[in-house]
Structure 1
Amino acid sequence: MDPVSVADCEAAQTCWYRCRAALLGEEWGDGPLAWMREDDHLHLMFPTRIPPDALRRGLERARDSGVRSVGAWLGLETDASALMAAGFERGWAPWWMTAPVGDVGAAGDPRIELQEDTSDYHGEYAGYRASLALTRERPQHSWYAAAYDDRGGGFAGRAWSHLTGETAGVFDMEVWTPFRRRGLGSGLLRAVVAAAAKAGAQHAVLNATPEGKLLYESCGFRQIGEGITWWLRLTDHPEQR
């Protein structure tokens, strides 16, 4: 039996959003609903039931605070009828995957750098720099890695890991399109998992899409379950204002 469950994956995802909300937004609860806002995005994290009145109150608070998009993360067993009635649309299915940290592979790609600050984001993306404050909290529980193209192309991608107990969640991992298929994805993955392992992580977890699953499997991950997401763009629903 795998020592990591889907519930562990959900807990890691929730902890990640909670820590980001504490730094960049706010968190609140209403009965069984746990809301976490970061900038103009709001997340509803793994409720076992969704009372319509509590959902309505959450959406009203979201509109009042300038939220533009709302994402609901659910287990497959959760009744989503209240979300559908509120105008949410069914989204992508997270494929929960896990691996012992020792199976992911050793860090050491010279194109990958662990960082606690960055000047890589500009223009409309400049605000992303603020999130790196997570890496400067002590004891450290979040790690950020940047990838740089060795052919003169510059900043090529990023990844995070976040420690929840003995579980390292991997998040926000992406290699920009022009730099893919050069091994940067596996380099990023191994760098952030190794950093969390030094702090006590025993297993790594992540949610994959079909595009990324083959990469994760090549680094020792295997799928143990799946979930579902639901999404609402408040600007698309003026009648809810």
Structure 2
Amino acid sequence: MVGVAECERVQANWFVARARACGGSVWTDGGMLWTDGPDGVNVLFPSRLDLQALHRGVQRAQDLGRSPVGAWLGLAVDPGPLAAAGFERGWSPWWMTADLADIPETHDPRVRLETDTTDYTGEFADYRDQLALAREQPTRAWYAAAHLPDGAFAGRAWSFLDGDLAGVFDMNVWPPFQRRGLGTALLSAICAAAHKAGAHHAVLNATPDGKHLYRTRGFTQIGEGITWWRHLP
């Protein structure tokens, strides 16, 4: 049975994999796992919080010019040290899961799996670097992009294989292109890829905007967590 602990594990391993694929860093301090990657500096699901280690992590982020610093927690962890270190309570991940056998595979010509892209330019150009994770062998991450018939880039999504679980991440359909079935097609493509690679269940953290889509595709909420954030000058 998939529980919140498994959702947290997949999320943490996704942050670790992205940091390493993009030349970032991963370290432990005070018994806490930290990553510095495309998602910035984050401390991930500690069983307890060490105030001095939090101060060191914030200082490291400041030295790197990274802001904000994120902390992802289970609801049972005492957040007192975060408040003492200047963090503010943020949004709550809604953990959801689905049996991949129950998610039908669609074949929408607007969506394809990619291992490289030219869709990101200007201030977003660095996102292309993240597709290094999709090129690693053996394959454990899949990136899907949605394009309209006129070539317009309309959305993206990732899945990440962690044991027999598949994490669903960074799924977005840009506002002008929503309500055209692209979210369903993206989710289907990345879940099918992970299922074929051996995953049995998918897990994700949902926002209010995404929860309706996931529920219609067979996902069930099994719990929630909490994030805290320290904004640096």
Tell me the TM-score normalized by structure 1. Answer: 0.94
Residue 153 of structure 1, CA deviation? 6.2
Residue 31 of structure 1, CA deviation? 2.4
CA distance in 2: counterparts of 1:16 and 1:40, whole angstroms: 10
SS at match of 2:138: coil
The answer for the alignment partner of 1:178 in structure 2 is: 176
Q: Does 1:203 align with 2:195?
A: no
The answer for the alignment partner of 1:164 in structure 2 is: 162
Dislocated runs of 4+, deviation >6 Å: none
**Which amino acid letter does the alignment assign opposite residue 211 of structure 1?**
D
Residue 39 of structure 1, CA deviation? 4.9
CA distance in 2: counterparts of 1:173 and 1:108, whole angstroms: 18
The answer for the alignment partner of 1:129 in structure 2 is: 128
Residue 88 of structure 1, CA deviation? 1.2
Matches within 5 A, 1:92-241: 92-150=91-149, 152=150, 154-235=152-233
CA distance in 1: counterparts of 2:103 and 2:5, whole angstroms: 21
**For residues 153 and 178 of structure 1, do their structure 2 counterparts lie closer, same or farther at Cα, with a shift above 3 Å needed?**
farther
**Which amino acid letter does the alignment assign opposite residue 102 of structure 1?**
A
The answer for the alignment partner of 2:37 in structure 1 is: 38
Residue 85 of structure 1, CA deviation? 1.5
After superposing the two structures, state which structure 1 stretch, 186-195 or 103-112, moved more: 103-112
Contact kept in structure 2, 1:159 and 1:189, CA below 8 Å:
yes
**Which amino acid letter does the alignment assign opposite residue 208 of structure 1?**
A
After superposing the two structures, state which structure 1 stretch, 38-47 or 217-226, moved more: 38-47
After superposing the two structures, state which structure 1 stretch, 18-27 or 37-46, moved more: 37-46
Residue 58 of structure 1, CA deviation? 1.3
Alignment: residue pair count: 232
Residue 40 of structure 1, CA deviation? 7.5
Residue 107 of structure 1, CA deviation? 3.1
Contact kept in structure 1, 2:18 and 2:38, CA below 8 Å:
no
Q: Does 1:8 align with 2:6?
A: yes
CA distance in 2: counterparts of 1:36 and 1:164, whole angstroms: 17
CA distance in 2: counterparts of 1:182 and 1:88, whole angstroms: 39
**For residues 40 and 102 of structure 1, do their structure 2 counterparts lie closer, same or farther at Cα, with a shift above 3 Å needed?**
closer
CA distance in 2: counterparts of 1:130 and 1:226, whole angstroms: 31
**Which amino acid letter does the alignment assign opposite residue 225 of structure 1?**
G
Residue 104 of structure 1, CA deviation? 1.6
Taking only the aligned residue pairs, the percentage that are identical comes to: 57
After superposing the two structures, state which structure 1 stretch, 125-134 or 35-44, moved more: 35-44
**For residues 203 and 40 of structure 1, do their structure 2 counterparts lie closer, same or farther at Cα, with a shift above 3 Å needed?**
closer
SS at match of 1:144: strand
After superposing the two structures, state which structure 1 stretch, 38-47 or 212-221, moved more: 38-47
CA distance in 1: counterparts of 2:40 and 2:191, whole angstroms: 26
Residue 156 of structure 1, CA deviation? 0.2
**Which amino acid letter does the alignment assign opposite residue 6 of structure 2?**
D
Tell me the TM-score normalized by structure 2. Answer: 0.97
CA distance in 1: counterparts of 2:187 and 2:131, whole angstroms: 17
Structure 2: gaps spanning 5 or more residues: none
The answer for the alignment partner of 1:87 in structure 2 is: 86
Residue 102 of structure 1, CA deviation? 1.2
The answer for the alignment partner of 2:21 in structure 1 is: 23
**Which amino acid letter does the alignment assign opposite residue 32 of structure 2?**
L
Contact kept in structure 2, 1:40 and 1:69, CA below 8 Å:
no
